[in-house]
Amino acid sequence: MQKIIDWLKCAAAKIFPVLDTNKDGVIDKDDFKYLEKKTKDELEALGRKIGIELDKRQTKAKLIAALKKAKKKLKV
């Protein structure tokens, strides 16, 4: 079962490479740690690439929360 989960994470990293911020080939919790260092413009662009629209008028914390929520929908 773990092999299947690992394979899915690698497949997701290839399908959504923009989420693989540390470029290790797997989308995991470490990738979402780097969101804190991104600007609002970068977060908005990242959201567009994965198919969600973010409003830069919101706080950075809310933008990151929206990205994490979208991550859960992707089941990554």
pLDDT in tens, 3-62: 777 776 666 656 555 565 655 555 566 667 778 888 898 888 888 877 889 999 999 999
User: How many whole angstroms separate alpha carbon 38 and alpha carbon 57?
Assistant: 15
Name the pTM for this structure.
0.60
- Quote the number of domains for the chain: 1
Range of the domain at 40: 2-74
Identity at 27, one-letter amino acid code: I
Task: Answer positive or negative: Cα dihedral of 21, 23, 28, 30.
Answer: negative
- Per-residue confidence (pLDDT) for residue 22, from 0 to 100: 57
- For residue 63, the tally of other CB atoms under 10 A from its CB is 22
